[in-house]
Structure 1
Amino acid sequence: MTSVRTELDRQLSPSTVARDAPVTLARYRLRSQAARRDLVHHADLRYGSHPAEVLHHFPPRRPGSPLLIFIHGGHWQESSKEDACFPAPGLIAAGFGYLALGYGLAPQRSLPEMTASVRRGLTWVLDHAEELGGRPDAVFAAGSSAGAHLAAMAADLPLAGLFLLSGLYDLSPVIGSYVNNALGLTAEEAARLSPMLRPPPAVPVLLAVGEHETREYHGQQRRYAAALRLAATPVTELVVAGRDHFDLPFDLGDPATVLGAAVVRAAQPKGAP
């Protein structure tokens, strides 16, 4: 049993195969600080009543632009919106408005509470898209790791598309792993909160995983992509060469990369070249 638990923990620990996770996480922080220093933004806009229900808003250069809401990762128990501003410079330059969403962390918050907060935040942005410089029909949600799961849980909202990076879409493996020490998920909750077991999104989905990720993350993406195709949901699946779980999100704000270019294409008006 111990060996099974050890292997499960390893499969759910992206740092076991990432090249230099501490350095990458430090880059999140430094680049996010630079974005807040250099770009016009509105800090800590409140979208709900809980203290964690706040976001940072980087308005687009032109009104009526697409908006991208980013939901940070961290196994639902680490990181914050403060370290999730790094995609803003590239996305603003590419014609987007950018929002980094906070939702609180375990063990102070349960996963059902986090899921509800993210849904509330996305709904708030949809309702206020024009005030935020965007268009209600061009609001995209993106998430990395835990953020990909949380974005997928809100896939029934009238978003323009989802960009899901390195996500867990079936939470059953989490129950028997170290990740659940803070979450305290039951089997029933894990099933109820698994995007794989919910109605599929009605909007296009882009799934991406880094080349240097564990078998579990690659397998979760393959299985979720297969389920979406079976449901006739438009899905694009990327395995990004040279990237791992932690540095893959840098590509989100870089149109020169395969992932960044796909994000920009998704936001182009229908019929645009």
Structure 2
Amino acid sequence: MVSRTVSAFAAEEEKRVLSLKPVLAPLHGSYGDHPHQVYDAWPARDPGAPLVILLHGGYWRYDRMHLTPFAAYLREQGFDVLLPGFRRSGGAGGYPETFDDVARIVDTLSQGRPYLLAGHCSGGHLALWCAARGLLPPGSRWHTTGLPAGVLALAPLTDLAATRRDGLSNGAALQLLGGEDVFEERLPSVDPLTLLREAGTTGVPTVLLHGAVDEEVPLTQFADYAAVHRDLKTIVLPGTGHYTLIEPGAPGARAVADTLGEMSAAFGARRPHHDSRKAPQT
């Protein structure tokens, strides 16, 4: 296990963002029978607003509540936002259940609408994996040709082997895949970097956005992924850490909203309009 120390800047950022009060969504629903197979919805006022499905982080272990303020913020920027839960490591999830749920989310909750898929940290890993599902063998349980209109990966984990090697979050990658005995066998079907190495592209417009001073995810994860994804767009925000990308109103979060707006316009959706109405607070 590799020990890491973080700066006072990074520690304060993490505490500030993760202690934000959760925001109650106006609508809730389910996509399955398990208690984790649920979603929160923040519908936009404009029925033609771009649809964004958000995949939360937390090293595949933690729930979505820390991302509710950001989901509400994106709704205020004019997006139609869905924030799903899914079965997670350390409980009912891990391999294959987490991936089953995420595949089901993107295959069904969009209801046939074009959508942008965004994810932060381990949610970014899952978003990049969704973009690469077309690269899986046709016999794979997760293979599909129905892909997102675009993917925005926010400070994502892109390389599960490096995540294991660096001991991130106390062996989170090993826990996700079920341990050392099966890690190498399962890796090729769920690792974005491995899936891309031969193909070089997923065919899905993809943007990787991260802070230049991210101390949570090693910067090599971003650089190594960019090195094999030939048509990836990378945005690096100076002076920005890991968590302010999902902090409502912070410069990082504004950059995320602006990027989602540009991506949605590229596939023909209306540019979102800022909505001043606030989502209700819990």
Give the TM-score, by structure 2 length. Answer: 0.76
Which structure 2 residues correspond to residues 1-273 of structure 1 after superposition, within 5 A? 5-7=1-3, 10=4, 18-20=10-12, 21-27=14-20, 30=21, 32-33=22-23, 36=24, 41-43=26-28, 45-78=29-62, 80-108=63-91, 109-126=93-110, 128=111, 136-137=113-114, 139-155=115-131, 156=134, 157-176=146-165, 177=167, 178-180=170-172, 182-183=175-176, 184-185=178-179, 186-199=183-196, 200-214=201-215, 217-229=218-230, 233=231, 235-250=232-247, 257-268=254-265
Query: Where do 4+ consecutive residues of structure 1 move more than 4 Å?
Result: 13-17, 251-256, 269-273
- What's the C-alpha RMSD, in Å, of the aligned pairs? 2.8
Aligned residue type for 2:147 = P
**CA spacing shift, 1:158–1:193, aligned 2, 3 Å:** closer
- Greater shift, 65-74 or 246-255, is seen at 246-255
Structure with the higher fraction of residues in strand conformation: 1
Query: Number of paired residues?
Result: 243
The percent identity for this pair of structures is: 26
CA distance in 2, matches of 1:15, 1:125: 39
Aligned residue type for 1:146 = S
Offset from partner CA, 1:34-85 (integer Å, 9 cap, x none): xx2xx6x212x1112332111101111121321111111011112x222222
Unaligned segments of structure 2, at least 5 residues: 135-145, 272-282
**CA spacing shift, 1:160–1:179, aligned 2, 3 Å:** same
> Is the 1:14–1:213 Cα contact (8 Å) retained in structure 2?
no
